[in-house]
């Protein structure tokens, strides 16, 4: 207990899934948490649940496609709790119907994903860093994705935006490290959030399981615990890194899974 005691954290996209897990774990370990989400009612409900468990939290509306909304979320955090020590830029969107291969991608969708997935990270940092400088430091954590390290048949804009998050993380770390501001990323693989469990067919989950090095899928708390570590002083000498939390899905030659089946006589 108390791994982030006395810190204030702003978690964007915190009403569900990875964001909710991270906000809950941060609060459990002593942080005062602002949960900002487009689903304002969900953010407020999540904050209320934290308060019922003895934590300190507030839920607010956030539209990550608009700079003024991001600035307002940062300013609310500082005015409500007195500081912003941790910023978790977690908002992200995807669209499997419009974000296609390079020839067929909807160009408006490209612009939307770059704005929400990448520019919102820049803006969150732009507004939070001056407060962190005045306070003598802070920790910024950005949600990237394994899509930022690999190629795919679709989701070209999503992958490019997340690759941008990985590199922007390094730039922020390099530019503000002397101010004792750390910036790191977390790159999830397939994570079984409630939304993923609802929308991903069992046949697709089987394909992912085949190529995981570990014999199970990830859960939201696997990312939340990584965020908690990066927010805490336990990671005080780590910056500019993106931690891949993906069950070993991408570490081996892709034929390895078939070789394993062959060895098992399957």
Task: Assess whether pLDDT exceeds 90 at residue 198.
Answer: no
Task: Assess whether pLDDT exceeds 90 at residue 125.
Answer: yes
**pLDDT confidence of residue 199:** 87
Out of 127, 158, 176, 211, pick the active-site residue: 158
More confident residue, 264 or 30: 30
- For 104, phi then psi, to 5°, come to -110, 0
CA 62, CA 201: separation in Å to the nearest integer? 31
Q: Which residues contact 208 (CB under 8 A, 6 or more apart)?
A: 189, 190, 217, 249
Question: Distance of alpha carbon 4 from its chain centroid, rounded?
Answer: 18
Query: To the nearest 10°, the Cα dihedral for 136, 119, 237, 58?
Result: 60
Per-residue pLDDT reduced to its tens digit, 24-45: 999 999 999 999 999 999 999 9
**pLDDT confidence of residue 109:** 98
Task: Share the mean pLDDT of the chain.
Answer: 96
Per-residue pLDDT reduced to its tens digit, 176-194: 999 999 999 999 999 999 8
Task: Assess whether pLDDT exceeds 90 at residue 258.
Answer: no
Q: Which residues contact 144 (CB under 8 A, 6 or more apart)?
A: 162, 163, 165, 166, 169, 185, 186, 187, 242
Mean pLDDT of 252-259: 80
Retrieve residue 207's tokens. Answer: 């394909």
127 is catalytic: no
**pLDDT confidence of residue 253:** 86
On the 0-12 / 13-18 / 19+ scale of CB atoms within 10 A, 107 is exposed
Q: Dihedral sign, CA of 151, 156, 159, 165?
A: positive
**pLDDT confidence of residue 1:** 78
**pLDDT confidence of residue 255:** 80
Per-residue pLDDT reduced to its tens digit, 209-246: 999 999 999 999 999 999 999 999 999 999 999 999 99
CB 49 within 8 A of CB 84: no
**pLDDT confidence of residue 259:** 77
Mean pLDDT of 1-27: 97
**pLDDT confidence of residue 76:** 98
**pLDDT confidence of residue 108:** 98
Q: Which long-range contacts (CB under 8 A, 24 or more apart) does 203-211 make?
A: 208/249, 210/257, 211/249, 211/254, 211/257
**pLDDT confidence of residue 228:** 98
Matching residue, tokens 């949600």: 143
Task: Assess whether pLDDT exceeds 90 at residue 261.
Answer: no
SS3 12: strand
Matching residue, tokens 């990237």: 144
């Amino acid at each position: 207990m108390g791994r982030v005691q006395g810190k204030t954290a702003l978690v964007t996209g915190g009403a569900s899934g990875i964001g909710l897990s991270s906000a809950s774990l941060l609060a459990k370990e002593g942080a005062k948490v602002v949960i900002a989400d487009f689903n304002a009612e969900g953010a407020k409900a999540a904050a209320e649940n934290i308060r019922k468990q003895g934590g300190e939290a507030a839920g607010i509306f956030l539209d990550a496609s608009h700079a003024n909304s991001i600035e307002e979320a940062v300013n609310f955090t500082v005015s409500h709790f007195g500081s912003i020590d941790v910023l978790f830029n977690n908002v992200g969107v995807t669209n499997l119907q419009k974000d296609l291969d390079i020839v067929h991608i909807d160009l408006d969708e490209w612009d939307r994903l770059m704005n929400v997935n990448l520019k919102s990270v820049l803006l969150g940092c732009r507004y939070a860093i001056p407060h962190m400088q005045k306070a003598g430091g802070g920790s910024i954590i950005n949600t990237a994705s394994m899509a930022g390290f690999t190629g795919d048949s679709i989701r070209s804009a999503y992958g490019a935006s997340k690759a941008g998050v990985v590199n922007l993380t390094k730039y922020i770390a390099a530019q503000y490290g002397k101010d004792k501001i750390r910036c790191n990323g977390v790159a999830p693989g397939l994570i079984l959030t409630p939304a993923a469990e609802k929308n991903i067919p069992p046949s697709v989950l089987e394909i992912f399981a085949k190529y995981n090095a570990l014999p199970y899928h990830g859960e939201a708390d696997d990312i939340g615990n990584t965020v908690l570590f990066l927010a805490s002083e336990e990671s005080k000498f780590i910056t500019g890194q993106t931690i891949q939390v993906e069950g070993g899905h991408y570490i081996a030659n892709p034929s390895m899974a078939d070789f394993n089946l062959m060895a098992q006589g399957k």
